[in-house]
Structure 1
Amino acid sequence: MCFACLGFSSPAGKISRRDVMLRASALGLVLPLAAPALQTAHAAEQSAPADPVGGIKDIIAKANSPELVATKTFEINGADLPWTDLGLDATRGQQVTFLLGGRMWLSRDHDLWFGPGLVFHARTRGQRPIYNPMLDTGTMIASHDGRIEVARSAAEWANEDGALATPEDIYKKADVKISGIALLWRGDAAAGVTSLLAHGDVGGLLKSELARLARGGKLPAGWSNLLGFGGGQEVFSQGTGGEIVCDITGRVSIIERPLPLALASRPRLAWRWKIDQLPSVVAEDQAATHDYLSIGVKFDDGQDLTYVWSEYLPEGKVFRCPLPGWNAIETHMIVRSGKAGLGSWQAGLRDVAADYAAHIGGSATAISKIWLLAVAPFQRRHGACRYADITVTTADNAVHKV
């Protein structure tokens, strides 16, 4: 099986996260080496999601809900370029719920795939912001009056306007089929979903969406989703004690917080973390098993360095991200290893400037952002942790709380 591997450089020689595609198909370059690990990693999960459209249409017909203004079914296939106009008009502030089925296959032979919510995106009137539920259900609040458009992207947007970074001929080779239905509500989406749920469900989608709406997830204050990875509020939240809680299964979320500080100021990153469950049951340095929890630093040259707890890789190991494309910009450092300490609070401290000089050695003059990363789409297992007391202290003893 032959797949493409792509990476791009931005003008002025700097590598930008926006220029890098998480080309899942590129995993074909390393999958043969990962096969034994994948057998172990996937042993617990082989089920396939159901196509929800027919069943949901039957429920809609039974319910005859006064909450529902309009519906539209759709299908997104590999050859479909973004964006697809659903022919459904929303007004600003109106709520539209998406219920999704299908998969984006990375390798059928190795049972590697992304769920539909991870790669599904929507917007109104061809304008930002782009909505990505990450879960297989979600409700978008229309940001503009106008048509609802949908598309799929595995971190393939060039910018926040939804322009495609991946060359069209490569993009259209993806093995993907997403089927879904858009439900445009008169008022509150929760009331509408409840009116349908009284008449049945399909694969638990309506129940899941009602629960998601009830949770009302919000990102921790000051943090935002990295471009292309929406739905961080379903993974990261603010704990009752002020800590940041992370809980993920089979998804990807990267959130970031701006903190520009010169490397010459000798920034030292300190944090506490309590990791209850790591999402990998094998070493994380292969692309097909690259599931991990991490805190990281983004630099002004587009590079990033993340600090990882691994059960299987030795402390002190440093490696470039194994995902083709991302290996041009991302470095991982194992700062804790093994099971000892899991489930209890542990402290971390890194001299960021020293780590950058020793392991990246690029042109950066400053850090730009702090990242929290939860990556678990390959083995599709559960990861859970908490972060607290994240600070960056400079040589003049100025403490910057994150």
Structure 2
Amino acid sequence: MCFDCLGFGVSSPAGRIGKISRRDAMLRASALGLVLPFAGPALRPAQAAEQGGPAAADLVSGIKDIIARASSPEVLASRVFEINGADLPWTDLGLDAAQGQQMTFLLGGRMWLSREHDLWFGPGLVFHARTRGQLPIYNPMLDTGTMTASHDGRIEVARSAAEWANEDGVLATPQDIYRKADVRITGIALLWRGDAAAGVRSLLAHGDVGGVLKSELARLQRGGKLPAGWSNLLGFGGGQEVFSQGADGEIICDTAGHVSIIERPLSLALASGPRLAWRWKIDQLPSVVAEDQAATHDYLSIGVKFEDGQDLTYIWSEHLPEGKVFRCPLPAWKAIETHMIVRSGKADLGTWQAQERDIAADYAAHIGGSAQAISKIWLLAVAPFQRRHGACRYADIKVTTGDNAVHRV
């Protein structure tokens, strides 16, 4: 394959990213799990509708002008910052926050996977922040977001595309490979004296830039929360912007170019004969082509994680046949993740459909590892490659064991 065509040797706004060796390219692809082999023709029918927000320079200069005009007492401090490919995490913003204080991030830029194929991640997907080097790490997923400081201390920012080794923000990707990324994120951090929504509103009264202030105010007013009992998988924040609890108990999933994996603990022995059952109504699939290629691996899914670290996810695909099983095409996930197509085609989209799977049988047939038990149930919404809209609802998720014990999720 041609590694030059993956965008490793192109110029970036941060400066020339020199040609890297085939070995480095392979290491980076393996470590990142997102920069990978793909063919141009596969992407042509999957052109994304969403093309990103305002230019980074326009965003920063515009927001600075609004701050100056507004002279808002709600703005305690602000900082413009830049995160480039050569920067190692973490960067100190030089802003001190008190525990419970809110800070809004407005972000521009891109992380390029391939310029030739117009394959990139938006800044909110890879941006992370924390207070004083401590947990938790905040990831907005959207290109605007507001963090509440969990501790007193300095605010630090970083970028990661699923590259944390642990919750402490230590890199799993080798530093020399990490620093070759073609990325530039430009942002402005706004530290509020009081309520973030009041602060954003005070600025919005004096203008906006590409709708970012309006978007963040709407997000704050939505007050998104994860469904009860669910949490974000490490490295994938912003689940509350993708998944929400419906009034009648349904879990609503709505994504547009983002990635979210949420999980709920459930420990059951495979010997107990667990069967996963659920109902789903998929209104919009995020992929317009087959999902078994790296550059078009956008899908909605429910999955099971096993105690050996393996996971198996069940997918509804428009293009792949029912019964097809394949390992994840992303290098960092290929060793641990298996996908199964359990429903195919467009005919039943927009209608409720019931599914049931024998977890132990599927594990034995398609993974065959050492696990003796399942550990978690997953919901996955993956749409960063084609950056298209995906929407579905889940209901009546339960695992029933051979003794007819029902575990509702």
> Could you state the TM-score of these two structures normalised by the residue count of structure 2?
0.92
The residue that corresponds to 1:17 in the other structure is none
Q: How does 1:305-384 map to 2 (within 5 A)?
A: 305-384=312-391
- Contact 2:54 2:209 (C-alpha < 8 Å) held by counterparts: no
Q: How does 1:266-305 map to 2 (within 5 A)?
A: 266-305=273-312
Task: Classify 1:205/1:6 alpha carbon distance in 2 versus 1 (closer, same or farther; 3 Å).
Answer: same
Q: How does 1:143-162 map to 2 (within 5 A)?
A: 143-162=150-169
- 2:42 maps to a residue whose letter is A
Where structure 1 has 5 or more consecutive residues not aligned to the other structure, the ranges are 9-19
Task: Classify 1:232/1:266 alpha carbon distance in 2 versus 1 (closer, same or farther; 3 Å).
Answer: same
Q: C-alpha displacement at 1:49, in angstroms?
A: 3.9
What CA distance in whole angstroms lies between the structure 2 residues aligned with 1:115 and 1:163?
22
Q: How does 1:146-225 map to 2 (within 5 A)?
A: 146-225=153-232
- 2:33 maps to a residue whose letter is R
Matched, 1:41 2:46: yes
Task: Classify 1:39/1:134 alpha carbon distance in 2 versus 1 (closer, same or farther; 3 Å).
Answer: same
Work out the number of aligned pairs and report it. 386
Could you give the per-residue CA deviations for residues 338-382 of structure 1, whole angstroms, max 9, x where no partner exists? Answer: 012110000010000000000000111100000000000000000
Matched position secondary structure for 1:4: helix
Matched position secondary structure for 2:25: coil
The residue that corresponds to 1:15 in the other structure is none
Residue number among 225, 240, 252 corresponding to 2:247 in the alignment: 240
Q: C-alpha displacement at 1:5, in angstroms?
A: 4.1
- Contact 2:53 2:210 (C-alpha < 8 Å) held by counterparts: no
- 1:39 maps to a residue whose letter is R
- 2:283 maps to a residue whose letter is D
What CA distance in whole angstroms lies between the structure 2 residues aligned with 1:6 and 1:213?
40
- 2:25 maps to a residue whose letter is A
- Contact 2:398 2:408 (C-alpha < 8 Å) held by counterparts: yes
- Contact 1:224 1:255 (C-alpha < 8 Å) held by counterparts: yes
- Contact 1:118 1:133 (C-alpha < 8 Å) held by counterparts: yes
Residue number among 23, 30, 33 corresponding to 1:23 in the alignment: 33
- Contact 1:225 1:256 (C-alpha < 8 Å) held by counterparts: yes
Where structure 2 has 5 or more consecutive residues not aligned to the other structure, the ranges are 5-21
Q: C-alpha displacement at 1:43, in angstroms?
A: 5.6
The residue that corresponds to 1:4 in the other structure is 25
Matched, 1:83 2:83: no
> Could you state the TM-score of these two structures normalised by the residue count of structure 1?
0.94
RMSD (Å), alpha carbons: 1.4
The residue that corresponds to 2:121 in the other structure is 114
Could you give the per-residue CA deviations for residues 192-213 of structure 1, whole angstroms, max 9, x where no partner exists? Answer: 0000001111111100000000
Task: Classify 1:370/1:378 alpha carbon distance in 2 versus 1 (closer, same or farther; 3 Å).
Answer: same
What CA distance in whole angstroms lies between the structure 2 residues aligned with 1:187 and 1:237?
27
Matched, 1:125 2:146: no
Task: Classify 1:7/1:172 alpha carbon distance in 2 versus 1 (closer, same or farther; 3 Å).
Answer: closer
Matched position secondary structure for 2:113: strand
Task: Classify 1:387/1:160 alpha carbon distance in 2 versus 1 (closer, same or farther; 3 Å).
Answer: same
Matched position secondary structure for 2:331: coil
Could you give the per-residue CA deviations for residues 121-145 of structure 1, whole angstroms, max 9, x where no partner exists? Answer: 0000110100000000000000000
What CA distance in whole angstroms lies between the structure 1 residues aligned with 2:265 and 2:28?
25
Task: Classify 1:99/1:47 alpha carbon distance in 2 versus 1 (closer, same or farther; 3 Å).
Answer: closer
Q: C-alpha displacement at 1:50, in angstroms?
A: 1.6
- Contact 2:28 2:178 (C-alpha < 8 Å) held by counterparts: no
Could you give the per-residue CA deviations for residues 261-292 of structure 1, whole angstroms, max 9, x where no partner exists? Answer: 00010100000000000000000000000000
What CA distance in whole angstroms lies between the structure 2 residues aligned with 1:391 and 1:214?
32
Residue number among 228, 233, 236 corresponding to 1:229 in the alignment: 236
Could you give the per-residue CA deviations for residues 84-113 of structure 1, whole angstroms, max 9, x where no partner exists? Answer: 000100000000000000000000000000
Which 4+ residue blocks in structure 1 deviate beyond 2 angstroms? 2-8, 20-25, 43-49
- 2:280 maps to a residue whose letter is W
- 1:232 maps to a residue whose letter is G
The residue that corresponds to 1:394 in the other structure is 401
Task: Classify 1:67/1:48 alpha carbon distance in 2 versus 1 (closer, same or farther; 3 Å).
Answer: closer
Q: C-alpha displacement at 1:6, in angstroms?
A: 4.8
What CA distance in whole angstroms lies between the structure 1 residues aligned with 2:136 and 2:341?
35
